[in-house]
Amino acid sequence: MAHIHLEDGALSPIWVIFWWAVAAALIGVAMWSLKRERVSTRKMTVAAMCASVGIAAFMVTIPVFGGLHLNLTPLIGILAGPALGSLAVLIINLFSAAVGHGGWGVIGVNTVVNLSEVLIGYYIYRTFRTRVNLNRFASGFSAAALALTISALMVVAIIAVAGIQDSHLDEEETAHNLWLIAAMNIGVGLIEGGLTGYIVSFIGRIKPDLLEEIERSREKRPPDEDAHKKGG
């Protein structure tokens, strides 16, 4: 999915520093947010589990167009929340770079891209559940698919603006490859959307308290939860 698989030296030093600074600022906001609220042990455990699953998902690469993989970052946002989810994706990117899944210089930009997936996934799911009143599958699918589509377009914009150092491709060839990769990422994002919707629906049936916080302000119960309550 939307993860920049470039080695060190592909981005110029100024862009490496810029994206590290943006990532550091966003992580700082997340830590400040966590400091203001009391985080339960269960929530920390869920975030740690999400980070572990996210690392595993990043390591399973589909050998197409430089490597595609599931991110599960929107799911991390739904389960862990935006603040803990932000820390989880930072850990995922640090571990990924440590095992050669992208260079150390792209940790900053990849963290920003994955952070956008966490935040967009969280707020879209919450909006669709609390305001639009969609069921869990539809909300999870929409949250993941939209978040990953937006992040795929972000990657295209970032690379187009920053450029790739020592690339032998001209601008037209680079643009063609970027849009092709974006299209592939969006396609895989739809698959991940379906997987996210299924996982959220499953969790809602067996452990609905894990979704209690993100669904707290819901005034009207969607059909899937009503059916669960009648059955259990």
Residue 1 lies in a domain: no
**pLDDT per residue as tens, the chain (232 positions):** 456 767 677 788 899 999 999 999 999 999 999 988 878 888 899 999 999 998 888 777 666 555 567 889 999 999 999 999 999 999 999 998 888 777 788 899 999 999 999 999 999 999 999 989 899 999 999 999 999 999 989 988 888 887 776 665 666 776 777 788 788 888 888 989 999 999 999 999 999 999 988 988 544 444 454 444 444 4
Please state the domain count of the chain: 1
Question: What residues does 68 pair with on adjacent strands?
Answer: 62
Query: Looking at this protein, which amino acid is placed at residue 89?
Result: V
Contact 201, 136 (CB under 8 A): yes
Q: What's the CATH code of the domain at 20?
A: 1.10.1760.20
Buried b (16+ CB within 10 A) or exposed e, 15-40: bbebbbeebeebbeebeeebeeeeee
Residue 214 lies in a domain: yes
Residue 231 lies in a domain: no
Residue 103 lies in a domain: yes
Tell me what pLDDT residue 140 has: 96
d(CA 64, CA 48) in angstroms, rounded, equals 30
Instruction: List the domain range (segments joined by +) for residue 42.
Output: 13-226
Tell me what pLDDT residue 104 has: 85
Residue 232 lies in a domain: no
Residue 102 lies in a domain: yes
Residue 3 lies in a domain: no
d(CA 169, CA 171) in angstroms, rounded, equals 7
Q: Please write the tens of the pLDDT for every residue from 167-202.
A: 656 667 767 777 887 888 888 889 899 999 999 999
Residue 6 lies in a domain: no
Q: Please write the tens of the pLDDT for every residue from 106-133.
A: 899 999 999 999 999 999 999 999 989 8
CA 81-145-203 angle, 5° bins = 50
